């Protein structure tokens, strides 16, 4: 189907044209067919597990020869358990509620016209990801369930695994009578194909990068197609003067230390000057193995606190390190967050309802929290089922994005012959 001698632009344009055709077919497909397609795809992943794991072994061997790091090899590796998890993930997407066809609102005009806004698929979605081959199945399942065609571009180190997983997904959706072009894998490892996807305005409706910061940064920098992503999770937890000391200690330690490598981890702490238990909270963090980089006031509470540089207030550590400052009150906390936050997730700990509500209103981030750990910033924890990603952009979808974020709406107008006067 794909002529690999053509330019990356021609290749992507041809794939996108087939994807658009498939998307038109999908728009008229029933939800039952999509569910069936995903169930059959999950079955095909299980049936083909030997072949998929064999393909993965080939990728692993190549990667080891090329000297890839242990962390990278671990991300690349598939075994029976992980593959079963991937198949179960596809089935979980089949069990989510159907986002399509929902009537968002309805108006009857004085002239009798009946207007509805109805959820419909977005169209053609490009997924650009790195070494985890399970994304081939996860992302494709989410796109398909929302009625979209997906163009998948995984990391070159995972190409054999991705091909094997893609073949299983295509087998499943094909067996349900859905167009196999609804899930296409870019067949080349040529990096220029990524650039062609990013410039495919009008051919691809949305790009979702899944991977590390350098991938997301490149995509956000180069893309002309709209991108749904976040670059940083520069999240702040602010301990208000009214915070319950015990709650503050538990929340701060959890928000920073539960898992330091996730985007919802807290990276900066702000302590109200009038909060009486700052020293307790800082010591609890230090005792939990967290390095604390503080301003003068925070350094004064414990000799283990080192000096924070200007850079620290803008650094997403993704590690057992936190920056911490004292603020004079709510206004200074809000101003600090406005200046340094990446607008992902910011939290206040307070018993004073008025202060908390003012924080929730004034902080302009995708997620704002009161008396909760920033580590909850996750589609699964939000009850959305699988998420395609978290967006810090302000348009279309914000925060955790699941099926609904992969849809748009159209206006349906039903009349009885009305002409406009």
Residues that bind a second copy (CB under 8 A): 24, 27-28, 107, 109, 113, 115, 120, 122-123, 205-206, 224, 226, 244, 247, 250-251, 254-255, 258, 338, 356, 358, 360-362, 364-373, 375-376, 381-383, 394-396, 398-400, 408-420
Q: How far is the CB of 183 from a second copy (least distance, A)?
A: 19
Q: How far is the CB of 20 from a second copy (least distance, A)?
A: 9
DSSP type of residue 202: T
Could you tell me which residues come within 8 angstroms of residue 122 by beta carbon, excluding any fewer than 6 positions away? 146, 148, 205, 206, 406, 407, 408
The tokens 């997730």 sit on which residue? 345
Handedness of CA 126, 127, 129, 131 (dihedral sign): negative
Beta strands in 278-331 (DSSP E): 291-294, 306-307, 321-327
CA distance 240 to 238: 6
The tokens 């999908």 sit on which residue? 26
Nearer Cβ to a second copy (95/394)? 394
Q: How far is the CB of 288 from a second copy (least distance, A)?
A: 13
The answer to whether 230 and 389 are in contact (CB under 8 A) is yes
Q: Which of 246, 263, 239, 216 is nearest to 379 (CA)?
A: 263
Q: How far is the CB of 335 from a second copy (least distance, A)?
A: 9
Nearer Cβ to a second copy (66/410)? 410
Nearer Cβ to a second copy (46/218)? 218
Nearer Cβ to a second copy (328/418)? 418
CA distances from 85 to 88, 135, 254, 313, 387 (A): 5, 12, 27, 38, 15
Q: What angle do CA 119, 122, 124 make, to 5 degrees?
A: 155
Nearer Cβ to a second copy (171/352)? 352
Q: How far is the CB of 421 from a second copy (least distance, A)?
A: 8
Q: How far is the CB of 223 from a second copy (least distance, A)?
A: 9
Q: How far is the CB of 91 from a second copy (least distance, A)?
A: 21
Alpha helices in 116-257 (DSSP H): 134-145, 159-175, 192-198, 213-222, 245-257
Q: How far is the CB of 378 from a second copy (least distance, A)?
A: 8
Pairing of strands 114-121, 103-108: antiparallel
Strand partners, 118: 103, 410
Nearer Cβ to a second copy (118/321)? 118
3-state SS, 13-35, equals HHHHHHHHHHHHHHHCCCHHHHH
Nearer Cβ to a second copy (67/417)? 417
The answer to whether 132 and 72 are in contact (CB under 8 A) is no
Nearer Cβ to a second copy (326/365)? 365
Q: How far is the CB of 27 from a second copy (least distance, A)?
A: 6
Nearer Cβ to a second copy (190/381)? 381
């Amino acid at each position: 189907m794909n002529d690999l001698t053509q330019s990356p632009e021609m290749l992507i344009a041809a794939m996108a044209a087939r994807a658009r055709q498939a998307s038109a077919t999908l728009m008229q497909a029933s939800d039952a067919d999509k569910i069936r397609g995903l169930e059959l795809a999950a079955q095909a992943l299980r049936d083909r597990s030997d072949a998929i794991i064999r393909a993965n072994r080939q990728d692993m061997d190549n990667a080891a020869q090329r000297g890839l790091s242990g962390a990278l090899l671990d991300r690349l590796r598939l075994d029976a358990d992980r593959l079963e998890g991937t198949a179960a993930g596809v089935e979980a997407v089949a069990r989510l509620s159907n986002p399509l066809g929902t009537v968002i609102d309805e108006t009857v005009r004085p002239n009798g016209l009946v207007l509805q806004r109805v959820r419909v698929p977005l169209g053609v979605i490009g997924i650009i990801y790195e070494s985890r081959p399970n994304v081939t199945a996860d992302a494709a399942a989410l796109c398909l369930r929302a009625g979209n065609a997906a163009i998948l571009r995984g990391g070159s180190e995972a190409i054999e695994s991705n091909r094997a997983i893609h073949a299983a997904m295509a087998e499943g959706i094909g067996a349900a009578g859905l167009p196999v072009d609804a899930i296409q894998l870019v067949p080349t490892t040529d990096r220029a194909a990524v650039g062609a996807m990013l410039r495919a305005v009008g051919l691809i409706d949305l790009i979702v990068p899944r991977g590390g910061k350098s991938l997301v940064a490149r995509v956000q920098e180069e893309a002309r197609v709209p991108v749904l992503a976040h670059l940083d999770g520069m999240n702040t937890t602010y301990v208000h003067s009214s915070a319950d000391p015990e709650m503050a200690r538990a929340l701060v330690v959890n928000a920073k230390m539960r898992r330091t490598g996730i985007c919802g981890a807290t990276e900066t702490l702000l302590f109200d000057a009038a909060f009486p238990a700052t020293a307790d909270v800082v010591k609890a963090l230090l005792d939990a193995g967290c390095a604390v980089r503080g301003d003068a006031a925070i350094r004064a509470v414990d000799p283990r606190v080192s000096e924070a540089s200007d850079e620290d207030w803008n650094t997403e550590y993704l590690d057992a390190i936190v920056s911490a400052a004292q603020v004079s009150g709510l206004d200074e906390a809000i101003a600090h967050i406005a200046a340094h936050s990446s607008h992902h997730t910011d939290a206040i700990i307070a018993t004073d309802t008025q202060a908390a509500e003012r924080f929730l209103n004034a902080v302009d981030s995708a997620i704002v929290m009161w008396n909760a750990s920033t580590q909850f910033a996750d589609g699964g924890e939000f009850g959305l089922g699988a998420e395609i990603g978290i967006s810090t952009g302000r348009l279309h979808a914000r925060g955790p994005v699941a099926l609904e974020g992969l849809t748009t709406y159209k206006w349906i107008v039903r009349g009885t012959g009305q002409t406009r006067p």
